[in-house]
């Protein structure tokens, strides 16, 4: 943001400028809109498990999300622009979080909080979505089981950085990632690939 003083025929002297406050500034539209968006995120908490407890702690007095402009929790997706999935997501909740994401107006972002929301975590079972990025697009993954409030706040400040780097003229932003005709958000091969078992669980039998 640059600061410009009105031009006159001669440069004003320091004495003349002493009592004058600058009354306009120049900036870019992207910078000012991103500045507003990043500092007034309205989160839609989608808390399903222990991560939601840490999320509540983040919002409460000791850690105080209000410092980042997020004191207004939105319990309606229509008035939210940040979906925080705090906790594991079973397949039974998959259509519900997808519906909530579709209901949120643009611009919108999402944070996948914790190991289970990001990868399925320890729940590599028949009930559990192996990472919510197979259901909705995710901007920031916060690792931890559960992450401490500092971790979530770090993720939120990373998202704010990301928002501040966006450009209004970028055509790839603000695109709705809708389900395709086959009912997939990601290609099925991709879902299978990122849902592959890892760690100890590779020793389990796999019938699929």
In the complex, the residues that contact other proteins under the rule CB under 8 A are: 91-92, 94-96, 98, 124-127, 129-130, 134-135, 179, 182-185, 188-189, 191-192, 195, 197, 204-208
Contact 131, 117 (CB under 8 A): yes
Under DSSP, is residue 36 helix (H, G, I), strand (E, B) or coil? helix
Classified as helix, coil or strand, 43 is strand
Read off φ and ψ for residue 73, nearest 5 degrees.
Answer: -75, 135
Closest Cα partner for 136 from 107, 97, 108, 187?
Answer: 97
Q: What angle do CA 60, 65, 66 make, to 5 degrees?
A: 100
CB of residue 188 to other proteins, shortest distance in Å = 3
Least distance CB 102 / other proteins (angstroms): 11
CA pair distance 60, 166, nearest whole angstrom? 29
Nearer to other proteins (CB atom), residue 103 or residue 167: 103
In this structure, the chain runs to a length of: 208
Q: Which is nearer to other proteins, 78 or 184 (CB)?
A: 184
Q: Which is nearer to other proteins, 9 or 189 (CB)?
A: 189
Tell the smallest beta-carbon distance from residue 176 to other proteins (Å). 16
Q: How far is the CB of 133 from other proteins (least distance, A)?
A: 11
Shortest Å distance, C-beta 91 to other proteins: 4
Whose Cβ is closer to other proteins: residue 97's or residue 159's?
97
Between CA 169 and CA 192 the distance in angstroms is 34
Nearer to other proteins, 13 or 204 (CB): 204
Pairing of the two strands 140-142 and 109-113: parallel
């Amino acid at each position: 943001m640059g600061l410009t003083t009105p031009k006159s025929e001669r440069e004003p002297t320091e004495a003349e400028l002493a009592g004058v406050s600058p009354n306009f500034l120049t900036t870019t539209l992207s910078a000012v809109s991103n500045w507003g968006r990043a500092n007034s995120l309205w989160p839609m908490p989608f808390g399903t498990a222990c991560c939601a407890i840490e999320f509540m702690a983040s919002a409460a007095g000791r850690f105080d999300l209000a410092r980042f402009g997020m004191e207004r929790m939105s319990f309606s997706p229509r008035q939210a622009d940040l979906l925080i999935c705090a906790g594991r997501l079973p397949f039974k909740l998959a259509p519900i979080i997808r519906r909530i994401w579709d209901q949120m107006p643009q611009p919108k972002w999402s944070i996948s909080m914790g190991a289970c929301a990001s990868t399925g975590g320890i729940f590599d079972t028949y009930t559990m979505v192996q990472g919510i990025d197979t259901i909705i697009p995710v901007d920031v993954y916060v690792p931890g089981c559960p992450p401490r409030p500092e971790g979530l706040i770090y993720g939120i400040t990373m998202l704010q950085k990301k928002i501040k780097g966006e450009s209004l003229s970028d055509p790839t932003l603000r695109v709705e990632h809708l389900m395709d005709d086959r009912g997939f958000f990601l290609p099925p091969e991709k879902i299978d690939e990122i849902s592959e078992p890892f760690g100890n669980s590779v020793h389990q039998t796999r019938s699929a």
